Amino acid sequence: MTAIFICRSLKTGRVNCWSAFRTAAFTAWTAQQTAPENYLFEQVKNTRNQGITQRSVQSLFLDKDDNIWLGTYGEGVYLIGSIPEKFRLFEKKVIDSRAETYLRYYGMCTDRAGNLWLGTDGDGIYKANSSGQVLKHYRADGRPGSITDGAVISAYRDSGGNLWFGTYSRGLFLYNPANDSFTPFNNDPGKPGSLPANDVRVIFEDSKKTIWVGTNGGGLARLDRRTGNFTRFIPSSSSINSNDIRAITEDKKGNLWIGTYGGGLNYLDTGTMQFTQFFNNPKKGIHLSNKIIFSLYLDARDRLFVGSEGNGLLLYDTNRKTAVQYLEKNGLASNVINAIQPESTDKIWVSTNKGLSRIDLSTSKIENFDQSDGLQSGQFNPGSVLHNAKEGYICFGGTEGWNLFYPKQIITSKYKPSVLVTGIQLFGKKVEVGSRQNGKVLLNEPIGDKTRITLEPDQSVFSIQYAALNYAYPEKSQFAYKLEGLDADWNYVQYERTATYRYLPAGDYEFRVKSANQDGVWSEDYSSLYIRILPPWYQTWWAYLLYVTAVGAMICYYRKYQDRQAKLKYEIQLAQFETQKEKELNERKISYFTNISHEFRTPLTLIINPVRELLKNDPNQDAANLNIIHRNAKRLLSLVDQLLLFRKADQKQDELNLGVHDLPMLIKDVFQCFMHQAEQKNIQYEFVCEKEDLKITADIEKLEIALFNLISNAIKFTPDHGRVTVRLSDEGEQVEIRVEDTGIGIPADAGDQIFSVFHQYPDQRAVSKGGFGIGLFLAKTFVQNHFGELTYSSRPSEGTTFKMRLWKNHPELKLSKAEENHLHHFSVFLEELSVPDMVPSGETDSEAENAKPVTEQLNAKKPTMLIVDDDEEMLKYLAGMFQEQYRLIEAGSGEQGLQQIKKHAPDIVISDVMMGGMSGIEMCSKMKEDMAVSHIPVVLLTASSSLESRLKGIEGGADDYISKPFDKDLLMARVTSILKNRNDLQKYFYNEITLQSGDTKISPEYKEFLQRCIAIVESHITNPEFNIKVLASEIGMSHSTLYNRIKSISGQSTNGFIRFIRLRRAAEIMISSDMTIMETAEQVGINDIKYFREQFSNLFGMKPSEYIKKYRKPFHRKHSLSKEIFKPK
């Protein structure tokens, strides 16, 4: 073995020489000739307290940092650092039958001579000096006075210098220095004063020189040195909460703080011998959840340090009652605290499962030390600590040896190692000097400080390697790097020696790296590497030039495009403005024509009807002239109607009113309208129908107008003695209507322009025939609305043929349920152009003769009629028409009309629609909202012949809707019919109530309603409180609707209606039973017999007694009356 010595100056402490000895050979190196007594020679040893090499040392070198380099023969180079070791490690390997392991150190203490007594796990006690040299080994060898258990897990020196040792299974031992032997104290089950348990974990002497022993399983024991007996404290006999005691310390009051395993922290008041628990309540501040205490220490400031398993270190100020907890999150090495040893007032050392921690209590700074600092590699053991105050060192024992160190020598190294960039990698592969990457050499020479490299765009992933020149502690060097141009701050990466970058943008970067020594002292000097990343082709200067050119071209094009769009937008807006102006002008024209047309209809009415009266009533008048007046007035009315229809067709607002119609009959009606004109011009005028039974789904009025215009044009443009033929033919799913004439024809270049609105083709061969130029436009539009087609063929001077093809039942023309039940619709258009037959008004004498007492009361005077119109002449004309048959009331406005209705309750109301203020439709709606007058029928007169206007009137509650100019006879017939229908309903009701038969026919709807009402009233017949509300609820109608229905059927109020049904039932009872009149009245819910007789007489025209005498005998005596007789029909 070669011995290495360091020669250090006693004056300066600087190393002046190193020496190596081997087999009496001496090699020396000195800086200067100095007396030997001025130098100190120290041997260099390894961690096992042995020389560092067995080989000969061939050379020595001292570098600038005072590190020594040794060149050996066969073992390479050794480095001996100039920085002294912080911790000295002493370890020993033991071999047993299982494996080779490190000896574990537990209880330890020092004697008065400064020797270390080290207890081990299974190998007894080692007595050694501070250099680690073993002075004596005490084994459990069975000799007298020796220890009997090799597992020594606790040790203590009392105030008298006595050494106490606790073993794992053989109790407590006291060392006797006089004879170098041990006195045992163990558990004897038969001796109550013996040690409570043989597993001794802690030994402590208090200020009264009393020895306290903490055991595992036996609780706390107090030794009486005089008698040698122990007093035990266990949960079953005291207030302590655990049998396992691990740590003991004393406060200034002489009371004990006791750390347990499983019971947490206990406090013993030695005066009362009562134990109190601390930090076991989770609701009160800090809580030691594991309740395992390994170590305790109370300093001079009465601050208690509690070392726990899992809950870190607790600092409890016993005076202020405040606590601070140190955990891993605060910087502690581990939350398992095994032993506590103070260095000074504000600094303490704690051993953990992950090394040692030094805590500066004044700054709360924590320094951690581990295996790399020279500590043993395993865990430190609970309670394994000693402190030699005289020499100033501390020892901690662990599972793989023990460490000795001088706290004052644990200082931060000022050494700042240099850092170098050592290499570069591309995609994980090292780049060698001179190697080619994509055909190019990346490194021409080894990397040094401020080396420059250039990377291609496809070399996007690269790593930079670096190292610190800290030869003594290479693994403890820490690093931080920063890439200028990317990173805003330094990246502290601890012990990592590689920085990797991926997909950096093109540009120039500077990589900087700096390092810290083993104590974390950073050097501000850094090493640099300049990196240039080339851009891809699309980011080069010529690419950007191309982009700028392209963008400029696009901007130029876009500006031109914007100019074109702005110009186009201006032209469109101008065109739209002109179109809008033209549309508004056209709309004003049409509105003007429409308003004029509406105004024409009222004076036309006052022309046509008086002329008709003259023709009918005065045969001496000049009939020819009057016929001319009448015919031209009708013609003018036709033109007015076409103007109104044109506006709707042009605005596409006119919807089809579909129905299933007899087409031959429809054509024949239109055909007959021109018979007189054809006779006047001696035109051969005929209608040819190939099949009489042809049904078609269509709007009858639209088809009549289309056909009317075609025949009208044919008659108009056919000269005298010509021919006009209308043909109807069946074409399978379609029908064809042909209108043929031998007129002047249509020029060949006319085309479809003849169907344009306001188009009248100029022709010098014909004198202007008048008209608006909208007839063919309407015909074409209405035919196309039916998905049909209208075409023509013509030869000038020979004639023209118009062909109208229509579908019998096109799938798009769907009927509503109401329309499916009607085969033929009423035509307003033809009604206005034809003279209807006179409709007789008034009732027959036979009907008047058959009236019963109630109907006689209703018809005792003329019906009352209210006429409402703001045109005074029309008001006088209507009054003249109805003054003989009705008692008249007149009103000049809708407001006045509504007042007269509420005041007089007329039998019928005739009103104009368009009036100043309230219109006729508004007046009608307000009538229907008033239950007192809602049953009164209303007939509305209007200048508009459209179905839309008629629909509004009907929705407002009107019973009929007649267009101006109206036919006098038609209006009178409509009024008579409405009143007659109401009278028929009331007569039927009267017959049903009075049990009389009659031939009056009413609709099934009214009959069913009456039967339901009678059945409901008869089910409540004995209830005098039965009223309209109950009836409305059971029949499922609103109060107002039921009132109107009852009023129209019976002419009575709802109470009168119910009373009539009660009287009807009374008549049945009196005929079919022997009940008296009073019993009968009570049976039908009428308790006032006088009132019953009066109402019965009014209804049946005779007293109840007379009714019984007349009808009871023939039914009651001879026959069994069937109830079917009295059921409503």
CATH of the domain at 447: 2.60.40.10
Average pLDDT for 563-584: 89
| Residue, of 840 and 151, whose pLDDT is higher | 151
Residue whose tokens read 């188009």: 759
**How many Å apart are CA 31 and CA 332, to the nearest integer?**
46
29 or 743, which is more confident: 743
Distance CA 471, CA 467 (A): 11
Cis amide linkage into residue 184, ω under 30° from 0: no
Hey, what amino acid is at 444? N
Whether residue 739 sits in one domain with residue 787: yes
The answer to whether residue 220 is domain-embedded is no
1124 vs 1121: CA distance, rounded Å: 9
The answer on pLDDT for 945 being more than 70 is no
Q: In the predicted model, is pLDDT for residue 1118 greater than 50?
A: no
Identify whether residues 939 and 1040 lie together within a single domain.
no
Q: How crowded is the C-beta side of 305, counted as CA atoms within 13 Å?
A: 23
Local structure of 920: helix, strand or coil? helix
Check residue 768 and give its pLDDT. Answer: 42
Let me know whether 470 and 424 are in one domain.
yes
For residue 573, being part of any structural domain is answered with no
Same domain? For 679 and 810 the reply is yes
682-713 confidence digits (pLDDT tens): 999 999 998 888 889 888 888 888 888 889 88
Q: Is residue 473 part of a domain?
A: yes
From the list 79, 82, 78, 80, the residue with the least C-alpha distance to 65 is: 82
Q: Is residue 353 part of a domain?
A: no
Per-residue b/e over 92-119, b at no fewer than 16 CB within 10 Å?
beeeeeeeeebbbbbbbbbeeeebbbbb
pLDDT of 974 strictly over 60 = yes
pLDDT tier at 311 (50, 70, 90 boundaries)?
very high
244 close to 262: Cβ distance less than 8 angstroms: yes
pLDDT at 988: 67
Split at pLDDT 50, 70, 90, the class of 565 is: very high
Look at residue 928 and tell me if it is in a domain.
yes
Distances (CA, A) of 409 to 86, 388, 406, 932: 7, 15, 5, 119
**Residues 667 and 806 reside in one and the same domain:** yes
Sheet holding 229-233, edge to edge: 200-205, 211-215, 220-224, 229-233
Residue 403's Cβ-count burial label (10 Å; 0-12, 13-18, 19+) is buried
Residue that terminates a domain, selected from 788, 810, 833:
833
Which residues constitute the domain of residue 710? 655-833
Q: Measured between alpha carbons, how far is residue 251 from residues 291, 317, 324 in Å? A: 21, 12, 19
Last residue of a domain, one of 494, 520, 538: 538
Specify whether 668 is located in the same domain as 811.
Answer: yes
**Mean pLDDT, to the nearest integer, of 400-422?**
90
What pLDDT band is residue 312 in, cutting at 50, 70 and 90? very high
Read off the pLDDT of residues 212-233 as tens digits, 9 standing for 90 and up. 999 999 999 999 999 999 999 9
Written as six digits, the tokens of 888 are 């008249």
Tell me if 207 sits within 8 A of 254, measured CB to CB: yes
Q: Work out the pLDDT band at 949, boundaries 50, 70, 90.
A: low
671 and 806, same domain (yes or no): yes
Residue 414 has pLDDT above 80, yes or no: yes
Distance separating alpha carbons of residues 593 and 601, to the nearest angstrom? 13
pTM score: 0.48
Q: What is the pLDDT of residues 1014-1045, one digit of tens each?
A: 788 878 777 777 777 777 777 777 766 677 66
- pLDDT higher than 90, residue 157: yes
Q: Do 13 and 43 fall within a single domain?
A: yes
Confidence of residue 626 (pLDDT cuts 50, 70, 90): low
CB 910 within 8 A of CB 941: yes
Q: Are residues 908 and 771 in the same domain?
A: no
Note the pLDDT of residue 699. Answer: 85
**Angstrom distance (rounded) from CA 921 to CA 221:** 115
Model confidence at 310: pLDDT above 70:
yes
CATH at residue 1019: 1.10.10.60
Query: Is residue 521 in some structural domain?
Result: yes
**Residue 668: CATH number of its domain:** 3.30.565.10
Indicate if 807 and 906 belong to the same structural domain: no
Q: What does the pLDDT average to over 50-68?
A: 75
- Altogether, the residues listed in the chain come to a count of 1129
Bridge partner residues of 780 (DSSP): none
Rounded CA-CA distance 963/600 in Å is 13
pLDDT, tens only, 751-789: 777 877 655 655 545 444 545 567 788 888 888 888 999
**821 and 855 share a domain?**
no
Reply yes or no on whether the pLDDT at 256 is more than 50: yes
Q: Strand locations in 288-413, DSSP E? A: 293-298, 303-308, 313-317, 322-326, 337-342, 347-352, 355-360, 365-369, 380-388, 393-398, 401-405
Domain count, the chain: 5
Residue 95's pLDDT is what?
A: 84
Task: Report pLDDT digits (tens) over 515-563.
Answer: 998 888 898 889 999 999 988 888 888 888 999 999 999 999 999 999 9
Q: What is the pLDDT of residue 234?
A: 95
Per the structure block, which two tokens stand in for 403? 């460490």
CATH number of the domain where residue 970 is located = 3.40.50.2300
Among 592-601, 809-818, 834-843, the range of highest mean pLDDT: 809-818
In a domain, 910, yes or no: yes
Question: Rounded mean pLDDT of 605-614?
Answer: 71
pLDDT category at 109 given cuts 50, 70, 90 is very high
Half-sphere exposure of 1037 (CA within 13 A, CB side): 15
Q: Of the candidates 833, 865, 885, which is a domain's last residue? A: 833
**pLDDT, averaged across the chain:** 81
Is pLDDT above 90 for 245?
yes
Instruction: Report the SS3 class of residue 489.
Output: coil
Reduce the secondary structure of 96-138 to three states and give it as a string.
Answer: CCCCEEECCEEEEEECCCCCEEEEEECCCEEEECCCCCEEEEE
**Exposed (0-12), middle (13-18) or buried (19+): which is 903, by Cβ within 10 Å?**
exposed
| Cα 150 to Cα 648: distance, rounded to the nearest angstrom | 122
Does residue 152 form part of some domain? no
Would you say residue 580 has pLDDT above 90? no
Task: State the pLDDT confidence band at 994, using cuts at 50, 70 and 90.
Answer: low
Dump strand ranges (E) for 944-1096: 960-963
Domain check: are 968 and 1034 in the same one?
no
Rounded distance, CA 1040 to CA 934, Å?
9
Q: What is the pLDDT of residues 452-470, one digit of tens each?
A: 888 888 888 899 999 998 8
